[in-house]
Structure 1
Amino acid sequence: MSLDPRSHLSGVAAFVHSAQSGSFTAAAAQMGLSKSAVAKTVGRLEERLGARLLDRTTRSLGLTADGRAYYESCLKVLAELESAEALLASRRQTVGGLLRVSLPIAFGRLWVMPALLELARRHAELDLDISFTDRNVLLVEEGVDLVVRLGEPGDLATLIGRKLGTQRALLCAAPAYLDARGRPRTPTEIAGHDCVAFSHDGRTLPWRLRGEDGAAVEIGVRPRHRLGHGEALRDAALAGAGLALLPLWLIDQDLKSGRLESLLAEATEPAPIHALWPRAKDMAPKVRMTVDELLRRFAPVPPWERRGLE
C-alpha cells in the first residue's frame, strides 16, 4: 500500500472544504489559499481519481454521485485521523510508561522510594526503573529521566532542577561510647577519639564543623574505621564504634530516641538536595507528576526536619 501523500492525500482537504462550503471562494478563505489554487487542487484530485466530484455552476458547487460517495469516505478517514491525534494527545497527558530514575543509595531508599512506590500504586500504567548510586550520573547520556542529587547540582546548562530540601550533617556518637570516652567540646578534642568516617573512591572525606568562634573548621580525620555506605556508618555509630558525621535525614529518629547523641555544632553549610531532569521543550507528565509529588513531600520543610521538631 502506497502512503505517498501526492497520490492519497493531495486535494482531500480542498475537496472537503469546497463541498462543505459550496464554493471555491469560501473554501479558499477557510484554507488561507487563493480561489484558483483550491480549484486547481480539486481538479487534479478529480483527474487522478478519474471521476468528476463536483458539479460547477457560476454560483455554487454541488456533489456528483461519485463525489458524494467519495465525500462520505473522506469524512470517515478524517474522523479516524482526528481520533488518532486525540488519542496520542491524551497519552501525552497520561501518567504512564517507563520512568527511569537514579537515586543516592541510602537517601533514595529511605526517602524517595516510598514516594515512587506510592505513585506507581496510584498509576497502574507507570513502570519504574530505578538505579542507586552515589556518583553524579549523566542524565542525557545514560537515558535517565530524573535524578535526585545530594550536594551541588552541577552544571545546569542541560538540566532543570527543583530544590527539595537541605542535608544537615551532625557529629554524633552512641551515649555508651561517650560515657566511656568523654564528650568532645571543641573540634580539636576530636583527635583523641575513635572516628568512623565515610570513604569514597579510597578517599576519606574531611569533616567541616564550626569552631568555638563560629567559624568554619575543616577537620582532616584519621579514622579508625572507614566505610563506604551511609547506613553502615550509622550502624557503626549505633554500635559504639566512635564518632561519626552523619546527615540528619539518616539519624533524626536515633537522636529523638536517644540512641545517638549530637555533639558540637552542625556542618557549616547545609548541602542542597535537588530533583533534576533534562531540559526539553515538553516535560513528560510522568516526570512532572513525580517532581510535584517529591515537592509536596519535602518542601518547604523536609520531613526529617519536621520529625526532629515533634
Structure 2
Amino acid sequence: MSNYHESVLLKESVDALNIKEDGVYVDVTFGGGGHSKEILKRLGEKGKLFAFDQDADALQNVIEDDRFVLIGENFRYITRFLRFYGIKKVDGVLADLGVSSYQFDEATRGFSTRFDGELDMRMNQASGLSAKVVVNEYEEEKLADVLFLYGELRNARAIAKQIVSSRAEKSINTSFELKAALKRFLPQAKEHKILAQIYQAIRIEVNEELEVLKEFLTQIPTLLNENGRLSVISYHSLEDRLVKRFIQMGKFQGEPEKDFYGNTNEPLKKVGKLIVPTQEEIKVNNRARSAKLRIATLK
C-alpha cells in the first residue's frame, strides 16, 4: 500500500545497526516496510532480513526479495519464530514502536480521535480484547488504573466514573460516543491532548504494549551476536523509560544486582547519545515530533 507509513528517523535508526553485508537482521515492526527496505539496500547477496508484524494489513506490504522473510506474528515471540527458521543469533534488531500512520488514518481501526470509527484499537485484529471491551466491560477501578498508569491522567478516577455512568445508560461503541460521554473533561484548549492520553491508555491496554516491550527486550542479550546492535525508536515516556532502564541496568525497576566485589552485570551498554528528529523531519512528518532513538550493543 502506498503511503502506508512514513518511517521516522529512517537513516539514523538503520545507521545504528552498523550493517554488515552478510549479516542477519530483524525489523520487528515492519509496517509499511520503510526500515526493512533501507536495511535490504545495505545488505549483500548473502545477507538476511527477517521482519515481524502482527497486523494483517501490514502483510500486504511484503517485499519480494529472496533475502527477506516476513513473519505475521507479535515480536514478543521473536526468539521462538527465528528459531523456526534456524536462526539463533542475529547481528542487529530494529524496533519502531507505536502505531503506524496507516493505523491512525484508517477510520475503521479506531486508533484516531479524528474519526467516528468503532472503538477497536487492536493491532492484531484476531485478538479478543478491543477498546470497546475495555470501555464497556472493565470495572471502574480497573479502568481508572489503566487511564492513570498508561495515560498518566491525574483525574483518571473521575474519567472512569463518568465512563461507567454513561455506559450504564447506553453502550459506548464509537470514538465520537466516547468523546461525547467525556465532554466535561475536554475543555476546548486541551481537548486533543487529553483525548490523546485517554486513547493511548486504552490502546496500550488492548495491545499489552508495555508487557510486549519488556518481553522483547529481555530476549535481546541472548539473541545478539558479539558487536550486534539494538536500535529502538519510542514515542512516549512509558516506552522510552523501559528501553532506557533496560539498556542501563538490564532490568525495568529497582537497582541492578551486585556481586561480592560490588560489580554489576548489565548485559547491554548504550552506543552514542539519544537521537531525536531534526526540525526539518518534524516539519515533513509531524508524527516524528516525540520520537526518541536509543542504540545499544552487548557489554
Please confirm whether the aligned pair reaches a TM-score higher than 0.5, indicating the same fold: no
Please say which structure displays the higher CA radius of gyration. 1
What TM-score results when the alignment is normalised by the length of structure 2? 0.32
What TM-score results when the alignment is normalised by the length of structure 1? 0.31
